[in-house]
Amino acid sequence: MRKSIRVTAVVSALLVLSACGTRIQGGQSSDASSGPNAKPLVYWGKWAKGTPQATLFESIIADYAKQTGVKVDVQWLGKAQEEQIKNAIATGEGPDFFDTAIDHTAEFRAAGALGDMSAVFKAKIPGENATIEEVLPKSVLKAISDDKGYGFVPHSVFSVGLWYDAARYPDFATTPPKTFEDFLAVAGKEKAAGRRPIALDGTVNSYNAFWLYQLLLSTAGPGALRQLAEDPAAWDRPEVKRAVTALETLVKAGLFQPDYMATKFPDAQNAWAAGDHTFNLNGTWLGSETASLRTPAVKARIIALPPVDASKGSAVTIGALGWGVNPKSKSQQAVTSFLAFAMQKKYIDRIATDADNIPSRTDSPAPEALTSIQESIRTATAVSLDFDGVATVAPKWFNDVFLPLDDKLVGGSIDAGKFLAEGKAQTAELGE
């Protein structure tokens, strides 16, 4: 869900959760060895109590306590959880482990809230002849890593792709358009038939920016947006110009709904769910967000956005949600034991069945609507964080330069040449 005009990362759309159970108890457990006298592990969670994820994790906690005798004291903090965690760990208090996401790794690292996770990932999963590391796709392992190693244990992954109605295009799952130009041709036929092909909640600037960023991935590759933020000369790259020109072609074709730049969230995605539009470039969460609104005739599916150049293929945006470990916890072994327990297939499978999201494990199937994008994630050789992570490493540039210019390009008030020239000039000015 994207209600804010300034959105720092895709994961914000998944985790706009109401605060619930915000009672905070300081101090991680000092001893969590198994047995009836073991002190409980402390877990601070972001999910609102009663949400599918919170309910699932509470059931895992109950099973763990029953089998090991170790209790887990879970506290659902809701919003502002990140600041509470950083502040508590900095003072030697806080949880043994906590909810986190891929876009928070840098800030948690800087705050000393994440440590060496290698032992956790080498832990054997109960009842399975595999470690946590071995059940995760290499692409996901790459996405959750930084120069210090793995950041957290992921239970869910997400991405951005092209949502479509499989009732109208049943062959997209196996033979999608090979190129972005091919996709535009399909959308053009939809328009010619009297339909409004593409839904866009244009008042959400990050949704507008999905288009250019996904096109940049297929021309300039992962890291291209960060280069634009850091180096004015990067705006002159031919690969960047090709992506920008491709977006300009889409805008000039008039494939969005009328007044799309004034459309307030969630009007456009709701109209898509009702079958008024055929396509929507959005996150993998769109299916679950609109499930109750979709008409029975609409069969929602998602694929990776077709690349500008078919020979290059598409890089895949990978986001992840999971559990971080307090490096100051005195119960490292017990935390590792619990996380290995929680990563059992029977539990991670329920990320799909209970929460309608993509499970992190290679062998856990996604909901039917997400199977194609899950396969793209599993097999990806080039992966990217949402917007190259620029929203967190260069927020002023992202909010003050890129997003406003992108809105103008998507809205048709400037052309590709003006966008590139202004972007280069404003980036240089910001760096002075």
Per-residue model confidence as pLDDT tens digits over 222-261: 999 999 999 999 999 999 999 999 999 999 999 999 999 9
357 within domain boundaries = yes
The answer to whether the CB of 307 falls within 8 A of the CB of 218 is yes
Residue 80 has pLDDT above 90, yes or no: no
CATH code of the domain covering residue 63: 3.40.190.10
> Is 370 inside a domain boundary?
no
My answer on whether 339 and 289 are in the same domain is no
Q: Indicate if 284 and 406 belong to the same structural domain.
A: yes
- Choose one of 341, 362, 383: the last residue of a domain: 362
The pLDDT of residue 2: 38
User: Got the DSSP string for 131-147?
Assistant: BTGGGS-HHHHHHTEET
Nearest CA to 255 among 162, 323, 346, 321?
Answer: 162
Amino acid 4: pLDDT: 31
| Same domain as 412, residue 340 | no
**pLDDT tens figures, 329-345:** 999 999 999 999 999 99
Same domain, 276 and 400: yes
CB of 71 closer than 8 Å to CB of 65: yes
The answer to whether residue 371 is domain-embedded is no
Phi/psi at 208 (nearest 5 deg)?
-60, -40
Q: Is residue 143 pLDDT above 70, yes or no?
A: yes
Strand 383-384 vs strand 160-165: parallel, antiparallel, or unpaired?
unpaired
Residue 72 lies in a domain: yes
pLDDT tens for each residue of 93-111: 899 999 999 989 999 999 9
Q: Are 105 and 392 in contact (CB under 8 A)?
A: no
In a domain, 265, yes or no: yes
Within 10 angstroms of residue 18's Cβ, the number of other Cβ atoms is 11
| Domain range for 145 | 10-158+321-362
pLDDT band at 314 (very low <50, low <70, confident <90, very high): low
Q: Are residues 139 and 168 in the same domain?
A: no
pTM over 0.85: yes
Q: Are residues 86 and 104 in the same domain?
A: yes
pLDDT per residue as tens digits for the range 109-141? 999 999 999 999 999 999 999 999 999 999 999
Please report whether residue 368 resides in a domain.
no
Do 343 and 284 reside in the same domain of the chain?
no
- The tokens describing 369, both together, are 């609507």
Q: Are residues 135 and 58 in the same domain?
A: yes
Provide the percentage of residues in the chain whose pLDDT is more than 90.
83
- Residue 345 in any domain: the answer is yes
Same domain for 94 and 105: yes
**pLDDT over 60 (residue 65):** yes
72 and 86 belong to one structural domain = yes
Q: Are residues 201 and 329 in the same domain?
A: no
What pLDDT digit, counting tens, does each position of 419-431 carry?
999 999 999 999 8
Residue 83 shares a structural domain with residue 144: yes
User: Is residue 373, in this structure, part of any structural domain at all?
Assistant: no
**Structural domain count of the chain:** 2
pLDDT at 37: 62
Task: Tell me which residue of 405, 410, 404, 401 sits closest to 431, measured CA to CA.
Answer: 401
The backbone torsions φ and ψ at residue 263, rounded to the nearest 5 degrees and listed phi first, read -75, 125
